[in-house]
Amino acid sequence: MEINLDTMKIIDISMPVTRLMPVYKGKESKRPNLYIESDFTTGSAYESKLEMNMHTGTHIDRSLHIIPGGTTIETLELSKVITSCKVIDFTDVGDKISREQLKSKNIKTGDFILLKTRNSYMDILETDFIFLDKSGAEYLKEMKIKGVGTDGLGIERSQPQHETHIQLLSSDIIILEGLRLKDIEEGEYILIAAPINIVGSEAAPVRAILLQ
């Protein structure tokens, strides 16, 4: 796949980071804080400090998030997150994406897929967001995909053993959470989603972008 810098379209699919943004299950501990460390009343420069949980907003999970002794951000190969990708429309799904829904789509080995759901349209991000269930994760593992992105703040809920995360992360499938896909049509794009290189962290924020 080729990109022509002069003719490409750049599409931001990240969540803006603000105090009032939707956060996972509405938990206060996941709300970011932006503090002013200095401004023009106290000095000659304006500087802010950010305090943020690494699962707030658009971010990548590494396996340490769920698996003791797992991988962290600094060992992520960038070729896994700067890659062609397929946006797949699941906006007809009412609760969760399972093996059956995925089988009806054209998913191939090595794909990075982005799941577009009602999460991008409806006010359900902090509550009953659409998720990928264990059977769906098992199917993606069998298909040996490269990565999966979701417009939910978590790729799963209501599975207490984190079965979806375990299936994907134990197979080194990238999980990219917190995308905004409302204006994105189903189809092929180039994904740019390299996280901030926070050494030792189980996750890190990403400015995720599509090139078309």
- Residues in contact with its own copies by CB under 8 A are 1-6, 10, 12, 14-18, 29, 32, 34, 37, 40, 44-55, 57, 64-66, 68, 70, 74, 78-79, 82-84, 160-162, 190, 192, 194-203, 205-207, 209, 211
| Tally of residues, the chain | 212
If the CB atoms of residues 133 and 202 are measured against its own copies, the closer one turns out to be 202
Give least dist CB 104 to its own copies, A.
27
Residue 206 structure tokens: 């990403």
Residue 8 structure tokens: 């490409």
If the CB atoms of residues 13 and 130 are measured against its own copies, the closer one turns out to be 13
Give least dist CB 144 to its own copies, A.
18
**Cβ 175 vs Cβ 169: under 8 Å:** yes
Give least dist CB 190 to its own copies, A.
7
Give least dist CB 86 to its own copies, A.
14
Characterize the bridge pairing of strands 147-150 and 112-116: parallel
**For residue 11, what are the CA distances in angstroms to 107, 112, 179, 180, 196?**
23, 17, 12, 10, 19
**For residue 48, what are the CA distances in angstroms to 34, 43, 181?**
7, 13, 29
If the CB atoms of residues 48 and 170 are measured against its own copies, the closer one turns out to be 48
91 burial (CB, 10 Å; 0-12 / 13-18 / 19+) is: middle
Give least dist CB 103 to its own copies, A.
27
